[in-house]
Amino acid sequence: MTVLFHESGLQVTDDWIRTDSGSFPIRDVRRAWVTRRQLGRGSRLMTAGLGFGALLVLVGGVGATGWFNRNWLWILAAPVLFFAAAAIGLLDPIAIYLEKRHHELWIGTDTVAVQIWRHNRIEVHKALRAIQRARERDREQNEV
């Protein structure tokens, strides 16, 4: 029995997936997938509406002051400044936040779909690949 993935709360071997919520034989796993916790549709629409409203107020305020007429060159330079800021690492805090968001690892058997683990995107995808390798090995063994 080879351990393909081991992290706090999840262990994937050639034969089993062991989690805090139970153990599942690899031969019973029909599919595995990753999701992110989904926000409700109303929450997304509210966030989009607030963002759009804030943008309108900002553009309207800047337009009313005549800033656009005096500083139109800054609008053309904005994409270049954005990429320069990204290149020197000023946008790294945003990337760190996006990496730390929790993703959910699910498996499905003939009878049930179960969330087996939550972690950041990188670790969850490592575990998903380990489950896929275990399923491939199980299929190869059963064919022989």
Cα-Cα-Cα-Cα torsion 21, 27, 28, 31, nearest 10 degrees, comes to 90
The SS3 call for residue 35 is strand
The pLDDT tens digits for 70-86 are 888 888 888 899 899 88
Q: Which domains does the chain have, with CATH numbers?
A: 3-37+103-143 (2.30.29.30), 41-99 (no CATH)
Mean pLDDT (the chain) is 86
CB 126 within 8 A of CB 5: yes
Please tell me the distance from the alpha carbon of residue 120 to that of residue 99, in angstroms, as a whole number: 6
The pLDDT tens digits for 102-124 are 889 999 999 999 999 998 888 99
Query: How many C-beta atoms lie closer than 10 Å to residue 107's C-beta?
Result: 23
Percent of the chain residues past pLDDT 70, beyond the cut: 93
pLDDT band at 40, cuts 50/70/90? low
DSSP readout, 39-106?
PPHHHHHHHHHHHHHHHHHHHHHHHHHTHHHH-HHHHHHHHHHHHHHHHTTTTHHHHHHHHHS-EEEE
The pLDDT tens digits for 10-26 are 999 989 999 988 899 99
pLDDT band at 95, cuts 50/70/90? confident
- What pTM was estimated for this model as a whole? 0.63
130 pLDDT above the threshold of 80: yes
